Amino acid sequence: MINDAGREIPDKIEGLGFVRPFRKLADVHSEQKRNRAINKKSLKAERVPRISRNLEEAISRSGLKNRERISFHHHLRLGDRVVEQVLLQLEQMGYRDLILCVSSVMGPATEAALRAVRGGVIRRIETTGLKAPLSDALQAGEIPEPVIFRSHGGRARAIENGETPITLAFIAASEIDREGNMTGTQGINRFGSMGYSIVDAENANYVIGLTDSITSNPLLHISIPACFVDEVVELASIGNKAQIQGGSIRISRRPVEKLIARRVIQILAAAEVIKPNFSYQSGSGGISLLVTSLLKEYMMKNEIVGSFASGGVTGNLVDLMREGLFETLWDVQSFDDKAAVSLGANTSHREMSASLYANPENPGCIAHELDVMILSATEIDSDFHVNSITGTNGRILGALGGAPDTAAGAGLTIVVLPSFRGRIPTVNHRVQTVCTPGNTVDILVSERGIAVNPQREDLLQILTDNGLDILPIKELIRKVYNLTGEPDQPIAGNHIRGVVEYRDGSILDCIRS
Amino acid sequence: MRSYLYCPGNNPKMIINSGLYGADGLIFDLEDAVAPEKKQEARILLSQVFSEQIVPVEKSAVRINGPESGLWEKDLKELIPAGVRVIRIPKVEHSNQVQEICGVIDKFESENGITPGTVVLQCILETPLGVENAFLIGDSSPRICSFSFGAEDYCNALGIRRGQDLLPLDYPRSRIASAAAAFGYSAYDTVWGFLDDETGLKADAVRAKSLGFEGKSLIHPDQIDIVNKVFSPTLEELADARNILEKAGLTDGGASRVNDRMVDRPVLLRAEKTIRMAEEYGVQAFTDDK
């Protein structure tokens, strides 16, 4: 069958069963009005989590069985050394055919996951994104069942409503106190927000907290309270400090990226969305950081104070809060050490769970309160469909992240990207993989022009009236192809290797090889 | 032209993006930015870029290799048939250098069926000898349309360190601007090489404007906005020009008094130029201290 993103979707997918095709909603926010399915486990206030140094014993006590679902978070980013320790332990204990449910997979965790797949420990992966070599293995058909790509909000929804029940959650924390409270803001390997794992902690049957720092003092900042933790295991190390905390992020000096960022500010000013109490989110890519930097100048010059900024938080965004330009930061993931420190120290810098951030079934969803969302992408097409997983050549490069959630929720969603990278056009007739449907995207800003989604006639009028040069997206594609030529389409096979699930659980697209 | 942005002639990515940033003019460089072994591929690249009009040809120039390099004739042979019509010659010191180059351009125009005199020249004066010979060079060919100042070699020759002190460059700037004005040519100021010093860039441009320069050559897109602002009329200048033209129109065309100032023909011409520039570029008053 053909879904509303124009993609052919089978009725049934091996390992998933019958599927529900993506359908556009007349009101993309209507789903949030549904009652939230409450699936939280009962709290265990009556007992203190057991603390041990033996991962094997902790796993044994969890009652985990073959074919059940385990979970991890990716807040330690490239510095994560927890996933590989746990998967190795599971392999040694003889586990088979587990489902790996992760918020994302990157760095050494990809190699550990690939080893687990090849060893038969893992048969299915559910994630927002994955990197090589695991992504290459996926496309080579090495993973027995199709990988399910979910947005951060979609993952939280699927876990909370019981669609993907987690048997055992492995949750790394940079410090845990003797009561079992967990934090990401203290300890030598602090990484900041534990937002993605809060949903896991609240809903998994069994939770093992993993840390390399146990303190006898009560935590100053608690990310996950002890009542959600069954067991704490002390490891020699949870990761590589330098890779966890990253370096300070440097604002790009690339002229093309600056040009795009300046155009975004012109658009925001013309559309009059930068006004008192406005809310804002952007990614952590070069252009997004530049937009935030220019936004800061604009807000200071015009003496505007916004209500909140949200999502992944950088030190750059922390500066805006400290200078009084945003009242609150809602942080689901801290991208650098400055943000991690701030989260633990500032009451206006709030930690949020992935559910509060982006779950379409959460009535308080922050993403639905956003006025402005700045998105990056790997490519976009003439229907404004956005691809953030595969490149134009079909190879898996990125992740869904929170893009489908924030695009659906924000009043104004702007995609920023250079019109080609390395001579490969990023604005195409048809994206390789639909990740964020075009009906939730309002504007594309590239260095070669601004295109407005025709369904936003209001924006088109306002921007044109303000003297901004807007061109139809097909004209922009023509301009780009004049420079680069039209790329050949990769030949997709018939085997479904990945499934892109929309935030409501319907199927947007399939990745074939 | 208020701003002329330099772009290496052998960098395809920079070339195709060069027209996006708002510079009034572009200069594709075959001289210092291109290593000797890359000269030929740069010529071929630029000839394709111009013949396929990948850049805005009407506002683009090419800086060829210098008169003493032995390379400029190859540059012209490749570029003129491709559609390059503005040639910037570096390190000009004598009028006979210009005449020699013009002779070769005459030949290539003829061979390619191009109307004689179509190709015009911008001469860069960047040595003490070039600066001292400015008037003679200006008188050497009707193809010349502008002078540019190149401060780096000039400073080296005099043992001056380029920086915040603007005074040492007043003399060459004045001499070049005056010689250019003598022939009705435009005068473009030298590049500012300190990329992070926007305050210095602005001061340098303001000084050049005060000495009679129309615009400035640039080495980075970040410099465009600042320089365009400096060389655009200010709101006050525009209001003054309008006032002068309005009140002068009430007189018999001779000298008149507008407020506390005598207005005669040169003042009227300047006011008309200010209005024309404002119409072309808009009025961009500085709102901060950059």
CB-based contact B17 A256, cutoff 8 Å? yes
* Contact residues for B290 (Cβ-Cβ < 8 A; gap 6+): B198, B199, B202, B226
Residue A139, in any domain of the structure: yes
A4-18, A69-83, A302-316, B250-264: range with lowest mean pLDDT: B250-264
Nearest partner of A155 among A502, A422, A487, judged by Cα = A502
Residue-level pLDDT at A44: 55
Average pLDDT for chain A: 92
User: Could you give the strand order of the β-sheet that contains A214-215, starting from the edge strand earlier in sequence?
Assistant: A182-183, A175-177, A214-215
Residue A40, in any domain of the structure: no
Please tell me which residue of chain A has the smallest CA distance to B287.
A301
Q: Which residue has the tokens 């687990």?
A: A116
As given in the structure block, the two tokens for residue A284 are 């952590």
The ipTM value here is 0.82
- pLDDT band at residue A398, thresholds of 50, 70 and 90? confident
Q: What single-letter amino acid sits at A421?
A: R
Burial of B233 (0-12, 13-18, 19+ CB in 10 A): buried
Burial of B161 (0-12, 13-18, 19+ CB in 10 A): exposed
Which long-range contacts (C-beta less than 8 Å, at least 24 apart) are formed by A291-297? Answer: A291/A261, A291/A264, A291/A265, A291/A374, A291/A416, A292/A316, A292/A317, A292/A320, A293/A251, A293/A261, A294/A261, A294/A262, A294/A264, A294/A265, A295/A265, A295/A268, A295/A320, A296/A320, A296/A323, A296/A325
Domain hosting residue A174, numbered range? 47-241
- pLDDT band at residue B16, thresholds of 50, 70 and 90? very high
Instruction: Check whether residue A321 and residue A357 sit in a common domain.
Output: yes
Instruction: Show residues of chain B in contact with A448, CB under 8 Å.
Output: 20
- The Cβ of residue B260 has, within 10 Å, a number of other Cβ atoms equal to 5
Nearest partner of A415 among A368, A454, A460, A380, judged by Cα = A380
Q: Which residue has the tokens 């042979």?
A: B77
What's the CA gap between B227 and B198, in Å, rounded? Answer: 10
CB-based contact A256 B16, cutoff 8 Å? no
Instruction: Check whether residue A146 and residue A283 sit in a common domain.
Output: no
Backbone angles phi, psi at A160, to 5 degrees: -70, -35
CB-based contact B20 A258, cutoff 8 Å? no
Q: What single-letter amino acid sits at B248?
A: A
Burial of A172 (0-12, 13-18, 19+ CB in 10 A): buried
Checking if the pLDDT of B165 tops 80, the result is yes
CB-based contact A255 B16, cutoff 8 Å? no
CB-based contact B54 A483, cutoff 8 Å? yes
Please tell me which residue of chain B has the smallest CA distance to A449.
B20
Contact B26, B61 (CB under 8 A): yes
Instruction: Show residues of chain B in contact with A255, CB under 8 Å.
Output: 17, 21, 220-222
Nearest partner of A132 among A109, A102, A99, judged by Cα = A109
What is the CA angle A491-A496-A502, rounded to 5?
Answer: 110
| CATH at A447 | 3.40.1080.10
Residue-level pLDDT at A28: 46
The dihedral region occupied by B25, where left means phi > 0, alpha psi between -120 and 50, and beta the remainder, is beta
What's the CA gap between A387 and A376, in Å, rounded? Answer: 9
Give the bridge partners for A446, in sequence order: A449
How far away is chain A from the Cα of B20, in angstroms, using its nearest Cα?
Answer: 7
CB-based contact B17 A258, cutoff 8 Å? no
Residue A39, in any domain of the structure: no
Please tell me which residue of chain B has the smallest CA distance to A483.
B54
Instruction: Check whether residue A384 and residue A475 sit in a common domain.
Output: yes
- pLDDT band at residue A82, thresholds of 50, 70 and 90? very high
Instruction: Check whether residue A280 and residue A230 sit in a common domain.
Output: no
A83-97, A471-485, B108-122, B231-245: range with lowest mean pLDDT: B231-245
Show which residues on chain B lie within 8 Å of chain A, measured between beta carbons. Answer: 16-17, 20-21, 54, 220-222
Strand extents, DSSP E, A335-471: 349-351, 372-375, 379-381, 386-387, 412-416, 420-421, 424-425, 427-428, 443-446, 449-452
Strand extents, DSSP E, B19-176: 25-29, 60-63, 86-89, 120-125, 144-149
Where among A241, A266, A285 does a domain terminate? A241
Instruction: Check whether residue A268 and residue A236 sit in a common domain.
Output: no
Instruction: Check whether residue A335 and residue A211 sit in a common domain.
Output: no
Average pLDDT for chain B: 92
Instruction: Show residues of chain B in contact with A266, CB under 8 Å.
Output: none
Provide mean pLDDT across the span B22-41. Answer: 96
Contact A270, A246 (CB under 8 A): no
CB-based contact B20 A253, cutoff 8 Å? no
Helix axes B39-51 and B72-82, enclosed angle (nearest 10): 20
CB-based contact B221 A258, cutoff 8 Å? yes
Instruction: Show residues of chain A in contact with B21, CB under 8 Å.
Output: 255, 259
Instruction: Show residues of chain A in contact with B17, CB under 8 Å.
Output: 255-256, 447
Top-ranked range on mean pLDDT: pick from A238-252, B2-16, B242-256, B271-285:
B2-16
- pLDDT band at residue A48, thresholds of 50, 70 and 90? low
Q: Which residue has the higher pLDDT, A504 or B244?
A: A504
pLDDT tens per residue, range B111-163: 999 999 999 999 999 999 999 999 999 999 999 999 999 999 999 999 998 88
Share of chain B above pLDDT 70, in %: 96
CB-based contact B54 A253, cutoff 8 Å? no
Instruction: Show residues of chain A in contact with B54, CB under 8 Å.
Output: 483
Contact B187, B147 (CB under 8 A): yes
Residue A193, in any domain of the structure: yes
How far away is chain A from the Cα of B193, in angstroms, using its nearest Cα?
Answer: 16
Show which residues on chain A lie within 8 Å of chain B, measured between beta carbons. Answer: 253, 255-256, 258-259, 447-448, 483
Contact A318, A339 (CB under 8 A): yes
Checking if the pLDDT of A33 tops 50, the result is no
Give the bridge partners for A169, in sequence order: A71, A207
How far away is chain B from the Cα of A301, in angstroms, using its nearest Cα?
Answer: 10
Please tell me which residue of chain B has the smallest CA distance to A262.
B21
CB-based contact A259 B16, cutoff 8 Å? no
Strand extents, DSSP E, B117-264: 120-125, 144-149, 186-189, 215-218, 256-258, 261-263
CB-based contact B222 A253, cutoff 8 Å? yes
Domain residue spans of chain B? 3-230, 235-281
Query: Which of the residues A254, A256, A484 would you substitute to probe the B interface, choosing the one with the greatest number of B C-beta atoms within 10 Å?
Result: A256
How far away is chain B from the Cα of A307, in angstroms, using its nearest Cα?
Answer: 27
Residue-level pLDDT at B164: 77
CB-based contact B220 A255, cutoff 8 Å? yes
Instruction: Check whether residue A58 and residue A131 sit in a common domain.
Output: yes
Instruction: Check whether residue A459 and residue A357 sit in a common domain.
Output: yes
Provide mean pLDDT across the span A349-373. Answer: 97
Instruction: Show residues of chain B in contact with A447, CB under 8 Å.
Output: 17, 20
| Element spanning A474, H or E | helix A473-484
Give the bridge partners for A427, in sequence order: A380
How far away is chain A from the Cα of B196, in angstroms, using its nearest Cα?
Answer: 11
Strand extents, DSSP E, A128-268: 147-149, 168-172, 175-177, 182-183, 206-211, 214-215, 231-234
Where among A182, A212, A241 does a domain terminate? A241
CB-based contact A255 B54, cutoff 8 Å? no
Instruction: Check whether residue A453 and residue A381 sit in a common domain.
Output: yes
- The Cβ of residue B247 has, within 10 Å, a number of other Cβ atoms equal to 14
Q: Report which DSSP code applies to B158.
A: H
Provide mean pLDDT across the span A112-126. Answer: 97
- pLDDT band at residue A49, thresholds of 50, 70 and 90? confident
Instruction: Check whether residue A288 and residue A353 sit in a common domain.
Output: yes
Instruction: Check whether residue A285 and residue A214 sit in a common domain.
Output: no
Residue-level pLDDT at A333: 96
Please tell me which residue of chain A has the smallest CA distance to B21.
A259
Checking if the pLDDT of B182 tops 70, the result is yes
pLDDT tens per residue, range A216-230: 999 999 999 999 999
Residue A136, in any domain of the structure: yes
Instruction: Show residues of chain A in contact with B221, CB under 8 Å.
Output: 255, 258-259
* Contact residues for B167 (Cβ-Cβ < 8 A; gap 6+): none
Buried b (16+ CB within 10 A) or exposed e, B181-209: eebebbbbbbbbeeeeebeebbebbebbb
Residue-level pLDDT at A411: 96
Contact A105, A84 (CB under 8 A): no
Residue-level pLDDT at B268: 86
Helix (H, G, I), strand (E, B) or coil at A31: helix
Checking if the pLDDT of A30 tops 50, the result is no
Query: Which of the residues A251, A254, A257, A259 would you substitute to probe the B interface, choosing the one with the greatest number of B C-beta atoms within 10 Å?
Result: A259
What is the Cα Rg of chain B in Å?
Answer: 20
Which residue in B20, B220, B222 is closest to A447 by CB distance? B20
Residue A33, in any domain of the structure: no
Domain count, chain A: 2
Query: Which of the residues B6, B7, B21 would you substitute to probe the A interface, choosing the one with the greatest number of A C-beta atoms within 10 Å?
Result: B21
Residue-level pLDDT at B288: 45
Instruction: Check whether residue A188 and residue A329 sit in a common domain.
Output: no
A186-190, A215-219, A226-230, A389-393: range with lowest mean pLDDT: A389-393
Architecture of the B3-230 domain = Alpha-Beta Barrel (3.20)
Residue A287, in any domain of the structure: yes
